[in-house]
Each structure stands twice: as C-alpha cells, then as structure tokens.
Chain A
Amino acid sequence: MFFTYLRRELRRRRKAALVVASGLALGIALVIVVNSVSSGMNQAQGKVLESLYGLGTDLTVTKAQERPEDGAAPQRPRFEFKGKEEGEEQSSDRLMVQGFQTLADSTVATVGRQPGVDRAVGGLSLVNLKINGEFARGKIQRAQPQPAQPGTGNGGTGNGGSGGGSGPGDTVTGGGAAFDVDSFTLYGTDVTAPDLGPLTTSTVSQGRTFKTTETDAKVAVVDSAYAQKQGLALGDELTVKGVKFEVIGIATADRGQAAAQVYLPLKQAQTLSASAAEITTIYVKATDSTRIDAVKTAIQKNVTGTTVTTSADLAQTVSGSLDTASDLASDVGKWLSYAVLLAAVLVAGLLTSSAVTRRVREFGTLKALGWTSGRVTRQVVGEALVNGVIGGALGIAVGLAGAYAVTAASPTLTAELGSSGGAFGGGRGGMIFGGGPAGTAAGKTVDIALSAPVSVTTVGLAVLLALGGGLVAGAFGAWRASRLRPADALRRVE
C-alpha cells in the first residue's frame, strides 16, 4: 500500500513534485559545479606549484631562518675591488648560495628516515653574479659618526656605496661607478635521483639529461631561454667561475619560467661555491599524499633547525586571476550554492507542508480508518524523499553538464607566485619559498587552463544533500500531518 499510494500521489501531483524537485536540483547542481570548479582551482594551483618544485614533491625542507642578532646587519653579498687604479676596468665573479642558508648533506638522510617520508633528495641553489665596471674612488670622511647605510646589492646595480673597508658612520663622497651586472641561477642537482626536484619541471628538448653516474662530471644542462640569450648550443662550453662545463642538454620549462638557468651535478655546484657537503633545499616525497601535514609535523619535530614548506603553504603565496577565481569559488561560490540549496530546501518544505494542509481531509480520513499517525507521516516523508531523489538526480545531471561545460571551455587563469626579494633571493624571499629556487620564483607567472573535475565525493555529497533536503522537506510535512485530528475528516467541505 505504501508504494502504491506513493506512486499514485507523485503521479497525480507531478507539477508540485517537479517544482520541489527542480528547486532542489538547482541547489544541488550549483553545489556540484562550485565544488568541481573549486577542485579544478586546487588542481591548477597544484600545477602551478608543480612548476616550482617538480612532480612528486610534497614538501621541501630548508634551514630555519635565523633571527639576526641585535645590531647585526643581515647577511648580504660583498664585493671587493682592491688594489686597482682609479678608472681601471675591474671585474668580479661571485657564486653565492641562494638565501645564504644551507643545511648539511647529512640532513637529507635524516629527513629520509622520518615516518611518512618516501624519498628525500637534496639540492643546492646558487646565483652567479658577474660584475664588470669602472670605479671612481670616493673620499672617506670620518668626522661625524653616522648611522650605517644599508649596503648595495638590491636588484643588482651597484651605486658605489660603502665598499669594503669603510667603517660604520663614515661618509663616502665623490665616489662613482659604472658597471654591468650579469647574473644567472644555478642549481646543483642530485643526478642519482632524476625523478625528484626542480629539474623535473623541465623537459630536456635537446641532448640528454644527467646520467646517474655523472655525480661529479663537468657537464651542464642549460635552460632553453638562457641558452638562447647566451647563444649556447649543445656541445658548447659554459664557464662558471673559471671552470668549464660541457652543455649536454637543453631543457625547456613545462610551464612559465624554469627553476634555474643552469643545472650542474650537485658535487660540482658544492665545489664551485665552496659549500662542500651543503645543500639549500631538500625535496621530499611523502608515502601518502593525503598525510602531508603529519609528515611536516614529524620533520619539524625531529629535524631541528629546519623550515618545512608544503604545497598548501606555498599556495598562500599564489596571486593573480587564479587566486581571485579560487577565492571566489571557495568563498562566494560555496556560500551562494549552499544558500540556494538552503532556500530550495525551505521552499520544498513549505510546499510539502502546504500540500499536507490541502490534504487534511484525506489524511484525517485515513486516521479515521485506523491509520496511525506514524503511518500517515511515513507516507508524507516518503513522498518528500522521492522528490528529493528526483531533485538529486536532476541536479547531478545538470551539475555534471555544468562541470563538463567548464572543462570544455577551459578558461585560462594566470597565477603569480609570491615575489621574493629580488635576484639575490634575500632573507625574506627565502622565508616564503623556503630558500628554494627563490630567485627564479620571484614574480613567476604561470598560465593554467581551468578544468572542473567532478569527484565521487562531490557526487556523494550531492546525493546526501538531496536526501537531506527531501528529509527536511518531509519533516515540515510530517510535523503538519502529525498534528491532524482524525475529526478533521468529518469537517464539512468549505
């Protein structure tokens, strides 16, 4: 009887059922589309971050930023031009560690032993700075002690300020310089682990990548953009700090800018920069990508003096249209879709309740015939639930179509990665990007095509919402039905 009655009622009240169902459908479709677009945004952000760290890197470990001691100026590069006559051309070739903070080689193994860590690989990010130019020596006046001026080195153009030797409070007058700065970024890669780390963000388009045996070979892979600028080709020689390397491969960044302009075997990079057994960043792959936070906690606890950065941390530095759209999807979109759904559920509830009111005599009659309140209520809730299921099915269909349409249109979004402090990668930049390839990451812009993947979870959520909506609507009706007196059946027809 329950199903017969249910079927007959729904068929007769098709229109009302359709109104209730389409309201719920609209809400559910919105929830699906917004959720899918939102996860598309996450995927896009993931891709952006992937372009920074490479595939498979779940988190990075860098040296914790040391708080500068009181009064001590932050570390910065120093250039010394000594013993040269005024007006003579001078040149300096410096190779510096990006972020100035390094970890011991051995930390890689320590991190690798942490629970939840699948693999850990170390790398060394360097900046090579070549300066050529002329100086006019200034006169130093030691008369008045004055506060120290911050040194040069911001952005790569010198202004002939306080060179080495001048003490705090001294003033330099009459100094002047004109010189060129040529800088490029280097990354010392662990050639034994070719599938983890920044080099995986690029594809070797010419030549080959490092062999796993080339741990200390004088070979280099050069980014295609840099190679073009410098006129480097396969087989050419590249000189870094006086050491010659053979260009064995040209790599092209998959997305946006490359992680570094020149890749060398780690050992070579360490030797060149006089930072033997030191690295700047450890790239970590977790065994379970859903438990990254636990891995982060474990590393932070067990490996002291390190900063652990996850993709989620990095995502916070992403800006641009991707970030705006992502915020929109996760805030306004979600809020809106749930508001629509809530409204739909309320309308469904009111319609169900008023349908019960219109059927007072019918339900009163059934109660007079000996139907319990429970049985009548079940009937009402059953009808509302079926409306919910129909609405859910409709909503899922429309939602899937909507998500498919977004994927088909695939609008392009731009992501800007949080800028770090210029070419020197400075302390601040190092903090945000964990001392990773900070220089190249500065102001990096990546274009991503948005898709809206629908997950099983989203569909499951939609089904739950539909049933929930139906139940809430049913509860309205049930409340109304349970308050009916059987005597109502005998009322005169108005």
Chain B
Amino acid sequence: MYELIGVTKQYRRGQQRVDALAGVDLTLAQGDRLVIQGPTGGGKSTLLQMLGGLDRPTSGKVLLDGIDLAALSERRLTAVRGQNIGFVFQSFNLIPTLTAQENVETALVPLGGRPAERRDRAAEALESVGLGERRGHLPSELSGGQQQRVAIARALVKRPKVLLADEPTGNLDESMRDEIVELLEGLWQEHGLTFVMVTHDSAIARRAPRLATIRKGRITIKENRAAAGENRSASPDPVDA
C-alpha cells in the first residue's frame, strides 16, 4: 500500500537548514499498524505529513497504491486526502463554532453527496464512537476525550484506507488515554485500515506489533515478537534506514 523511497524533507529557518527527514525508506501493507516513537523534533510529524499528502518531500517518492503523492497536482493531492486519508490530531482540531455532528460532516463535504445522506452518515459515525447523544454539542461543551472521539468519528466517517494519528492522546488525562487508544485499535481492526500512530506512551508502544523510532530524521523499525499475534498482515521485510 505505502512505499516510501529515500524521502527527505528539509526546512529552512532563516540561514539554518533543518533536515526533518534524512532519507526514509518504509513499506506498509494494507491493514498494517505502525507505532512511531522518538524524541521531540525527531521528524515524526513530518513523516506523518508525507504519508498524508499534507506536504511534499524535498526528495524521494511517497507511493500510495503505486501513485507518487510527491508528484501529484495540488488538486489531485487534495482529492486523495479527501477520499483516502483520515487524520486525528493531538489537539483535536475541531471547528469551534460547529457542533459535533457538523464537525463530522465537514469530512464528507469534499465527497459531495446529498446533505441528508451526510447527516445520516455523520450521526452513524458519532454513534460508533459512543457520542450519539452529544451530536448537537459544541466542542467547548465536550470533555477532551469526547472531543477526540468526535475527531475520530470525523476521520473515519468517509471510510478512508489510511488513518494517521499524531499523538492522539497527548492532550488527554491518563484515564482517557486508554479509552481512546482502545477505540482506535478497535476501529482499526473493524475497518481493516492501515493505521500509523505517533505516541509517547510506552505502554502503547509495548503492545505494538511494529515499532518505528525516528531520531534526527532517521527511522529504525523493530518487530515486536510479543505482540506479533496482533499483527494480522506483517510486512515480510521491514526496511531499516
């Protein structure tokens, strides 16, 4: 499904050049689950942006089902994001003026379709994250955990192939973290998604079948034999960089 070949990303900060990604190779199969760890500033978010088509690499290829996202036009790339990729952010990134229901609907806007159909699908998605009763609430009227559930419903309502989560529990209390992680893992299993999650939570990392660590823009991948049973479609030869 995913094949990253020699991906680099450089940022310019004044005169300084920052190598956020310094040559990353990575292969992910459909249904894979990858957990990414690493120090702050290591390049985790940058890698997620490459996977999600939010930004283009400085060099290298990001193949999604054989299509190089780095070479797509802005319009095509936007369409790929709209159809295939679901995002969950650390700070939820809900639209503060829209209700839970409307926030979920925003993900369906790029797909077109009738408003009534959008409403039904959004309601269904909210039901599946256990927030059926809170549809009409504004984000400010929901707890952090509930807001992140809305964000998860928003990411999954369009039934994407890929779910990308950047520290989804980073802004949550300990009690809510497990709840959210369980929800994400459950949904991953249920929908057969390719799921990439950045986390600082070592408990989660320990459970992950494949664990990537990014340090100074370089990636190392470790198969976790203890959790291997959970990995339904392990990639035969993980690439180290």
Contact = CB atoms under 8 A, between A and B. Distances in A.
B154 A369 contact: yes
Interface string B109-125: 11100010010000000
A375 B93 contact: no
B81 interface: yes
A371 interface: yes
A371 B93 contact: no
B30 interface: no
A489 B54 contact: yes
A9 interface: yes
Contacts of B102: 1, 4-5, 8
A4 to B, nearest CB: 6
Nearest to B151: A365
B48 interface: yes
Interface residues on B, range: 20 to 34
B78 A372 contact: yes
Interface stretch (B83-91, B204-212, B228-236): B83-91
B98 A8 contact: yes
A369 B97 contact: no
A45 to B, nearest CB: 53
Contacts of B111: 370
Contact of A12 (B89, B96, B166): B96
B49 A487 contact: yes
A367 interface: yes
Given A368-B54, A370-B107, A493 B82 contact: no
Given A486-B54, A487-B54, A490-B49, A365 B93 contact: yes
Interface string B48-88: 11001011000000000000000000110011011100010
A485 interface: yes
B106 A366 contact: yes
A490 B96 contact: no
A1 B110 contact: no
Contact of A371 (B48, B83, B110): B110
A198 B147 CA distance: 83
User: Among B54, B74, B107, which residue has the most Cβ atoms of chain A within 10 A?
Assistant: B54
B54 A371 contact: no
Interface in A364-382: 365-373, 375
B98 A490 contact: no
B109 A365 contact: no
A4 B118 CA distance: 14
Contact of A490 (B54, B79, B95, B118): B54
Nearest to A370: B82
A490 to B, nearest CB: 5
A11 interface: yes
A369 B106 contact: yes
A1 B107 CA distance: 11
B109 A373 contact: no
A180 interface: no
Nearest to A12: B97
Contacts of B48: 490
B110 A370 contact: yes
Contacts of A375: 109-110
Q: Is the interface of A mostly helix, strand, loop or mixed?
A: helix
Given A4-B102, A5-B95, A9-B97, A369 B89 contact: no
A373 B74 contact: yes
A119 interface: no
Contacts of B115: 1
A371 B97 contact: no
A216 interface: no
B45 interface: yes
Contacts of B90: 492
Interface string A354-371: 000000011001111111
B95 A365 contact: yes
A165 B37 CA distance: 124
B117 to A, nearest CB: 13
A375 B98 CA distance: 17
Interface in A457-494: 485-487, 489-490, 492-493
A365 B91 CA distance: 11
B87 A368 contact: yes
A361 B92 CA distance: 11
Contacts of A372: 75, 78, 110
A40 B78 CA distance: 57
B98 A369 contact: no
A9 B96 CA distance: 9
B25 interface: no
Interface in B159-187: 166
B105 interface: yes
A367 B81 CA distance: 9
B47 to A, nearest CB: 11
Contacts of B49: 487, 490
Contact of B105 (A1, A362, A487, A489): A1
A367 B78 contact: yes
A6 to B, nearest CB: 10
A490 B45 contact: yes
Contacts of A369: 81-82, 87, 106-107, 109-110, 154
Contacts of A9: 97
A493 B110 CA distance: 26
A30 B214 CA distance: 62
Given A368-B81, A489-B54, A1 B106 contact: yes
13 contacts: A8-B97, A12-B97, A362-B95, A362-B96, A365-B87, A369-B154, A370-B81, A370-B107, A371-B109, A372-B75, A375-B109, A487-B55, A493-B91
**List of 8 A-B pairs having minimum Cβ-Cβ separation, nearest first:** A370-B82, A370-B110, A8-B97, A365-B93, A487-B55, A487-B54, A12-B97, A370-B81
Interface of B: 45, 48-49, 52, 54-55, 74-75, 78-79, 81-83, 87, 89-91, 93, 95-98, 102, 105-107, 109-111, 115, 118, 154, 166
Interface of A: 1, 4-5, 8-9, 11-12, 361-362, 365-373, 375, 485-487, 489-490, 492-493
Given A362-B93, A365-B95, A369-B87, 14 more contacts: A1-B106, A1-B109, A8-B97, A361-B91, A368-B87, A369-B106, A369-B107, A370-B109, A370-B110, A371-B110, A375-B110, A486-B81, A490-B45, A493-B91
